[in-house]
Chain A
Amino acid sequence: MNHIHLPAPSVWPLTAGAGFSLMAFGVATSLALSALGLILLVWGVWQWIQELRHA
């Protein structure tokens, strides 16, 4: 054996989560924050997909 598959640690769920949350936070504070959140979300999800492709 005995090499088992475990998912590698990843910062992209945190990035995507921060982006999604910032989008919501920006609604009550500043739409610029929402825009930044959207960028973070897209970036995080894209990198997440890349990780899945190479897992």
Chain B
Amino acid sequence: MTVAAPAIPTPAAEQLRPPGALRWFTTVDHKDIGVLYLATSAAFMLIGGLEALLIRIQLAVPRNTFLDPAAYDAVFTMHGTTMIFLVVMPILLGFANYIVPLQIGARDMAFPRLNAFSYWLFLFGGLILYFAFLNGTPPDTGWFSYAPLSEKPFSLEGGVDYWALGLLVTSAGTIATGVNLLVTGVTLRAPGMGWFRLPIFTWMSLITAWLILAAIPSLTAAQAMLLIDRYLGAHFFDVSRGGDPVLWQHLFWYFGHPEVYIMALPAFGIISEVIPVFARKPIFGYGVIVASGLAIAFLSVAVWAHHMFTVGLGDVANAFFGLSSMTIAVPTGVKVFSWLATLWGGRIHLSVPMLYALAFVLQFTIGGLTGIHFATVPVDWQTHDTYYVVGHFHYVLGGGSLFAILAATYYWFPKITGRLLDEHVGRWIFWLMMVGFNLTFFPMHILGLMGQPRRTYTYDNQPGWGALNFAETIGAFMMAVGILALVWDVWRALRGGTRASDNPWNGWTLEWATSSPPPAYNFVALPPIGSARPLWDLQHNLEAVEARPDPTRNWRAPIVGIAAFIFSEATFFGALIVTFLEYRTRSPGPSPHDLDVPRTLLFSLFLFASSGTVYLGEKRLARDDQRGFLTWWVASIVLGAVFLIGQVTEYARLYADGITISTNLFTSSFFTLTGFHGLHVFIGLIALSVIGLLGRTGDFRAGLRRTAVDTVSIYWHFVDGIWVIIFSLVYLLGLVS
């Protein structure tokens, strides 16, 4: 094999990493940010794990008094919130951050600074959440924070506020990461890497990114409404004023069930990388695995109400969501069969990553099968508030996602650090985790069927309950020992473990084509990419390494980015609009008939006209007519400002008439929906003004930085477009109904 020696690229001096700790505060390198995500999430995992141990100590024996009810509620709320928002999801995003650009042959994420911004939001959101714990007012309403328990009369202290605000901050970061991952995958793939040559982990990460944009804004909208209830006296979830706590459940689970797949799909991707490498066979059914991932993502936004069968939604809704939930088992099962078929006839190497991958397949399948039980409405009714549910979702997220994370840790640790974890110690840790996990969570199914209720701080000494609970506590401590041993092994490896080669597992995807750890620029050269396994091809067929064509700045990235962001915004506004339609005529008092439609129509025309002037400004810019561009641009800002003035004066008139956000359900939803739109107009005006200022200094002459103008224009058109819908539903619908 002849190998052309490519020149080694050198970053410019000002792009080099700063020395010492400053590097970590200023880094925009996707690998550093990936490491930051992984390290921070690991720290949160130790805290969340400690909370789990406190829960298990309390439940070890009947009628225990180790924790009082309030402390138990706080600990189980923080355990769930921590593990979902600060551990599993960000660890998987951390791996995606580190690995996806490498797997597609890119030098970084599409928006490196946005990537750093996302990480800091994740960290600070977590700190806000834990500030509540340290402040003595921990959230104690469950990770789901059901209304009306989370409303002011029932939760007077600030725990719920810190919960909502902390998660709002982390969610903003997660949405930004979703945009970034999606844009990276769409625009920065190496030459030759078509859609069906993407590694499956990258595929699953991109699908997850889409799902993040589709689901998380629903939670954001719900949390915004909850905070508006608590701070401004609105009534979204206030039963005494007609508010509907079931609406909270809809909005929460519209996010909550896709969230399960946000945590599962990257895990499927990890397992789809590990199993072929350690079975020395290509993945069986690549296309089917990708298609099933897409099917899972699309179906996952249509199954949320299976979490609500005990609410009393009615037979039609129960039947629909029962069937849709059973349907989603099909693409999930397809993946399991693909992994089994990959193993079949393979030369299986039972290294530690493979052990975790095999355990994942077994445990996730158990979790999936018990999940189908919940799609069966009468079974769900019997088991809904029992430990059967706790056992089920821990098999999915613990036996599934956590074990995939452990597989990924062992699989990619050599690439990330240049060191190997100890295989012998790793096997001991694996068995501790495997036995500990199943000892902890399998008995929960039995206890659930025996009737032990979940979310309660203690239980009666029913026959068998004490022994099974005690066994669960032993299992939890076994897992704790396993995790501590893993931390020690990581520490030992970082301080002087065996050096890893560039490709210690003989993997086939591009991350193994660079050094361990990779240089700042990721690759000196890339092999030709003719399949999803370029290193396999290199080993078996190809004869030369081509110099890597360096990526040029791709004009599409910001456009794809703003489109992805708008998609998430549409979900957010969708949640607010559905709420408005539900509440617009539900309570007595002010209604849409109290709105001054002609006046608002007049001001709306100014907003709609601003889309036209923005378009004309862009046209002038395309002809390099700077004066014409600035004229139309300033006109757009003025028109948008007039609309905003119209909205402010409308609010002032309504408030003068005694119609406020706390008057009734209509006003709560009206002011929230139109207020958030007004906020978007305000932010859009700032963006237009910044572009205008830069335009004055000649930033956009001769076609320079046109993408910035196009991106802001698209956002502005969205702000105008969504107002067409809002105006029609809020004002015009009031006229005809």
Interface string of B141-166 (1 = CB under 8 A from A): 00000000000000000100110011
From A6, A7, A13, A51, B117 is in contact (CB under 8 Å) with: A13
Chain B residues, CB < 8 A from A4: 9-11, 107, 521, 550
Interface string of A5-48 (1 = CB under 8 A from B): 11111111110111011001101100000000000000000001
Given contacts A4-B9, A21-B169, contact A27 B120 (CB under 8 A): no
Return the chain A residue nearest B111 by Cβ.
A7
Return the chain A residue nearest B172 by Cβ.
A20
Chain A residues, CB < 8 A from B11: 3-4, 6
From B28, B127, B227, B690, A7 is in contact (CB under 8 Å) with: B28
Return the chain A residue nearest B165 by Cβ.
A24
Q: Is the CB of B9 within 8 A of A21?
A: no
The segment from B14-22, B337-345, B476-484 that touches chain A is B14-22
Q: Is the CB of B521 within 8 A of A9?
A: no
Question: Shortest CB–CB separation between residue B684 and chain A, in angstroms?
Answer: 14
From A6, A14, A16, A48, B521 is in contact (CB under 8 Å) with: A6
Q: Is the CB of B113 within 8 A of A25?
A: no
Q: Which residues of B106-155 are within 8 A (CB) of A?
A: 107-108, 112-117, 119-121, 124-125, 127-128, 131
Question: Shortest CB–CB separation between residue A42 and chain B, in angstroms?
Answer: 9
Return the chain A residue nearest B547 by Cβ.
A1
Chain B residues, CB < 8 A from A1: 7, 9
Q: Is the CB of A13 within 8 A of B17?
A: no
Question: Shortest CB–CB separation between residue A14 and chain B, in angstroms?
Answer: 5
Q: Is the CB of A9 within 8 A of B18?
A: yes
What is the size category of the interface that chain A forms with chain B? 20 to 34
Q: Is the CB of B28 within 8 A of A27?
A: no
Q: Is the CB of A3 within 8 A of B10?
A: yes
Q: Is the CB of B7 within 8 A of A2?
A: yes
Chain B residues, CB < 8 A from A24: 125, 128, 165-166, 168-169
Q: Is the CB of B9 within 8 A of A27?
A: no
Q: Which residues of B543-583 are within 8 A (CB) of A?
A: 550, 553
Return the chain A residue nearest B168 by Cβ.
A24
Question: Shortest CB–CB separation between residue A46 and chain B, in angstroms?
Answer: 8
Chain B residues, CB < 8 A from A10: 26, 28, 113, 116
Given contacts A13-B114, A16-B117, contact A7 B26 (CB under 8 A): no
In Å, the complex CA distance between A10 and B27 comes to 6
Q: Is the CB of B116 within 8 A of A28?
A: no
Interface status of B699 (Cβ within 8 A of chain A): yes
Q: Is the CB of A9 within 8 A of B169?
A: no
Q: Is the CB of B15 within 8 A of A7?
A: yes
Q: Is the CB of B131 within 8 A of A20?
A: no
Q: Which of A12, A14, A21, A27 has the most CB of B within 10 A?
A: A21
In Å, the complex CA distance between A48 and B107 comes to 20
Chain A residues, CB < 8 A from B172: 20
Question: Shortest CB–CB separation between residue A41 and chain B, in angstroms?
Answer: 11
In Å, the complex CA distance between A52 and B172 comes to 22
Given contacts A27-B161, A27-B231, A28-B165, contact A7 B108 (CB under 8 A): yes
Q: Which of B11, B115, B690, B694 has the most CB of A within 10 A?
A: B11
Interface status of B25 (Cβ within 8 A of chain A): yes
Chain A residues, CB < 8 A from B158: 28
Given contacts A6-B11, A6-B520, A13-B113, contact A21 B17 (CB under 8 A): no
Q: Is the CB of A28 within 8 A of B162?
A: yes
Interface status of B23 (Cβ within 8 A of chain A): yes
From B23, B113, B227, A27 is in contact (CB under 8 Å) with: B227
Which A residues have a C-beta under 8 Å from some C-beta of B? 1-14, 16-18, 20-21, 24-25, 27-28, 48-49, 51-53
The 10 closest A-B pairs by CB, nearest first: A17-B120, A21-B124, A13-B116, A9-B26, A13-B117, A4-B9, A28-B161, A1-B7, A7-B112, A24-B165
Provide 11 A-B residue pairs closer than 8 Å at the C-beta atoms, listed in order of the A residue: A2-B8, A7-B113, A8-B15, A9-B17, A9-B23, A17-B116, A17-B119, A17-B121, A18-B120, A18-B124, A27-B227
> Beyond the given A7-B15, A25-B165, could you list 14 further A-B residue pairs with CB under 8 A, ordered by the A residue number?
A2-B10, A3-B11, A3-B12, A5-B12, A7-B108, A8-B14, A9-B18, A9-B27, A10-B26, A12-B113, A13-B116, A17-B121, A20-B172, A24-B125
